[in-house]
Amino acid sequence: MRGKKFETFAVAVFSVFIFVFFYTILSMNGLVLGNDPAVHLQRADFFLSTGKIPISDIAWYPPLYHIFLSTLIAFTGAIEIESLIFLIKTFTVLIDWLLIFSVYLLGSKFFNKKIG
C-alpha cells in the first residue's frame, strides 16, 4: 500500500516537473519557439471558419492537432494573440506530457516499474 502511494506521488511530482520544464522551454524567448505556432494557429483558424482540413496539409502537419487546438480555441473563446499563444503553449506541453507518460506506462507494463 505504501509503495502504491509513493508511486502515485512520484508520478504526480514528475508530471508537474515535466509540465513546468516544457512550458519554460517553450517560453524562453517570451513567445513561442519557431514559426510553427503561427502555422498551427492559421490552420486551426481555417478549420474553425470552414470546418475543413486541406488534404495538402495532412502530409506536413498532424490534422488532429489542429482539430483539438481549434476546439480548445472555440471552447475558451480566445481571440487575443496573448491568450492564443498561451493556449498553444499549454496544449503543446500537454501533448508532450502525454507522450512521456505513455512511454512510462508502456515501459512499466511490458517490463517493470524501474524500467518504466
pLDDT in tens, 52-95: 776 766 666 677 888 888 888 888 888 887 788 788 888 888 88
**8 Å CB contact between 93 and 22:** yes
Fill in the DSSP letter of residue 108. Answer: H
CA atoms of 15 and 104, how far apart (whole Å):
11
The packing angle between helices 63-76 and 81-110, to 10°, is 130
CA atoms of 26 and 21, how far apart (whole Å):
9
- What's the sign of the alpha-carbon dihedral 70, 73, 77, 78? negative
Task: Report the pLDDT value the prediction gives residue 116, as an integer from 0 to 100.
Answer: 61
Task: Report the pLDDT value the prediction gives residue 31, as an integer from 0 to 100.
Answer: 58
Task: Report the pLDDT value the prediction gives residue 102, as an integer from 0 to 100.
Answer: 85
Residue 27: is its pLDDT beyond 70?
A: no
